[in-house]
Structure 1
């Protein structure tokens, strides 16, 4: 498969999980492989997109360090960027990171896998964002129209939150037995590369299930690109698709660091609401992003986008994943797979 470059799409700062374990990513990012549980130290893995703006702002404004100092702890914050829930999950289980940033699908997978052991659960939402499935094929207007000629780029086939949402949409359209009907058309590709391919054309990629701002880049950069499906349509309204999660052990053994991190996220959410233009500048600066500033502001000010840490409307995906056998343990509510923290009390 050929890939293309595009000036708006930032080249991904990423590495495979094997490279992370082997030490190549350690050299590239400054992460170390010391034991994960050390009060005053937090290692965060994130992926691509403005859905991680809370982390950008918290780091830029040093909110984590501020709340740590108020609690008497000097917190060292380290970040690494990976692509795909599987790589994030493996890094968390290996102890290479402390906090995972990924979709609800990967969280549910790891919550189920570690149930009764490491007990991975959600810390907070990163906000509500509509995720768009877009296509440059004029014949594709609904998911019914996809054929073997189409290839849909997304972070991880079958397991990313985009893939799970598309499976849920397929189950609603063709029944649960056909939930993976479109998996065969999916290709794992980081959002920046997928966006570049969709805009430039000339590769097998003619569809992308993305996230902001990459989906907006695709729509703006190629007149043939159009929205086929919105995650909000599938999930029944605004939903927290991307979340942060960790092990029970990290939360238990690092209470001051954990509380400082959560407080910093809340501060970041308030900061973005008050200062959307400054938040856009922080994203550009922290991500070395070439995305036009006005496009970023359009995303941040979109009334469908809500920067908040309380998870919303995640349970539909959890119930679906249990129904199709993707997870063995059935949660009774979102409170089963999110930690019992005050900001999660009203989570859904």
Structure 2
């Protein structure tokens, strides 16, 4: 009889423990996205409430997702580190900087997965500039955040190739932090404040409609092929404390990516409706359907960026595999 009572007590205790564990999961996910087509999967997730949909499948019926729109990785980094944000999305340099800064801490940041491979282009209105070697101190280059953004790092990698590794930061004094919409407006205004913009879709498409604008560099030139433009990330603390909420967010990304890849015209229509952008649906469809653009969870060329960041002393940790700074849910993918 004592054994039966003890067994019953143990079963009850386990049930209570499981119930308390489930109850301990967050009731709200705070996520952020930036501007442009690189955030399209996140926009679809928000618009179609894909995280909430997948949360219900996992037993989280009342999970709320609050979305923020941030103009650059600087604000995203601060929000993640302070605990005011659960999921961020930005360029690979932001992820790597956060990972190296927090490695070994409860708030360690790792990648959730890629979102999109998309070329970023450095464009200018200065007819004298044919390559980055032609920039002078009068040419101001807009990037989303100086030194730490995707574009800022790519400019440094390009400078290292052009001027030698020791001069990787030669063009840094020319860079200015601006969200893409503001940078485009200033570039096309005809003034002399911003003469170049390391841009992204759809802004680079809009900019190149102006006959004064020409491209001098692509991110694919710098990295040697298709590369992750934007990745999603969160903290190890959130990952471990909220396995179902985390799984729901990852499932939301996958579903959004699958929806976009299945019907790119519908995705273009959704982007047009959500953002109110000036481009037509046909123009947006052409961008999304471009062979160089790929919506995918698979991280690409991320280790190459990590190696460069370590070489210039920006991060103190030298990873040997991209899997070190991404969570296990993408480890079976053919990343790099």
When the two structures are superposed, what TM-score results if normalisation uses the length of structure 1?
Answer: 0.87
Looking at structure 2, the residues matched to 285 and 93 of structure 1 have their Cα atoms a distance apart, in angstroms, of: 33
Aligned match of 1:173 = 162
1:274 to 246, 262, 266: 262
2:57 to 70, 83, 88: 70
1:295 to 283, 289, 295: 283
Aligned Cα root-mean-square deviation (Å): 1.3
**Does structure 1 residue 326 correspond to structure 2 residue 309?**
no
Q: What do residues 70-107 of structure 1 show as CA deviations (whole Å, max 9, x unaligned)? A: 11113211111112212101101111110011110111
**Does structure 1 residue 337 correspond to structure 2 residue 329?**
no
Higher helix share: 2
Quote how far apart the aligned CAs of 1:174 are: 1.3
Quote how far apart the aligned CAs of 1:291 are: 3.2
SS in 2 for 1:259: helix
1:344/1:105 CA distance change after superposition, 3 Å: farther
2:132 to 126, 143, 163: 143
When the two structures are superposed, what TM-score results if normalisation uses the length of structure 2?
Answer: 0.90
**Does structure 1 residue 134 correspond to structure 2 residue 123?**
yes
- Please tell me whether the aligned partners of residues 310 and 344 of structure 1 are also in contact (alpha carbons under 8 angstroms): no
1:252 to 235, 240, 252: 240
From the CA coordinates, give the structure whose radius of gyration is larger.
2
Show the 5 A alignment for 1:1-348.
38-74=25-61, 75-117=63-105, 118-220=107-209, 222-342=210-330, 345-348=333-336
Looking at structure 1, the residues matched to 273 and 321 of structure 2 have their Cα atoms a distance apart, in angstroms, of: 38
Q: What do residues 198-237 of structure 1 show as CA deviations (whole Å, max 9, x unaligned)? A: 22222411100011111111111x1111111000010010
Looking at structure 2, the residues matched to 60 and 182 of structure 1 have their Cα atoms a distance apart, in angstroms, of: 39
- Please tell me whether the aligned partners of residues 113 and 330 of structure 2 are also in contact (alpha carbons under 8 angstroms): no
Looking at structure 1, the residues matched to 55 and 303 of structure 2 have their Cα atoms a distance apart, in angstroms, of: 32
SS in 1 for 2:162: helix
Query: How many equivalent residue pairs?
Result: 311
SS in 2 for 1:341: helix
SS in 2 for 1:127: strand
1:86/1:115 CA distance change after superposition, 3 Å: same
- Please tell me whether the aligned partners of residues 32 and 69 of structure 2 are also in contact (alpha carbons under 8 angstroms): yes
- Please tell me whether the aligned partners of residues 46 and 67 of structure 2 are also in contact (alpha carbons under 8 angstroms): no
SS in 1 for 2:295: coil
SS in 1 for 2:39: helix
Looking at structure 1, the residues matched to 103 and 191 of structure 2 have their Cα atoms a distance apart, in angstroms, of: 45
What runs of 5+ residues in structure 2 fail to find an aligned partner? 1-23
Looking at structure 1, the residues matched to 73 and 116 of structure 2 have their Cα atoms a distance apart, in angstroms, of: 18
- Please tell me whether the aligned partners of residues 338 and 344 of structure 1 are also in contact (alpha carbons under 8 angstroms): no
Looking at structure 2, the residues matched to 133 and 257 of structure 1 have their Cα atoms a distance apart, in angstroms, of: 38
What runs of 5+ residues in structure 1 fail to find an aligned partner? 1-36
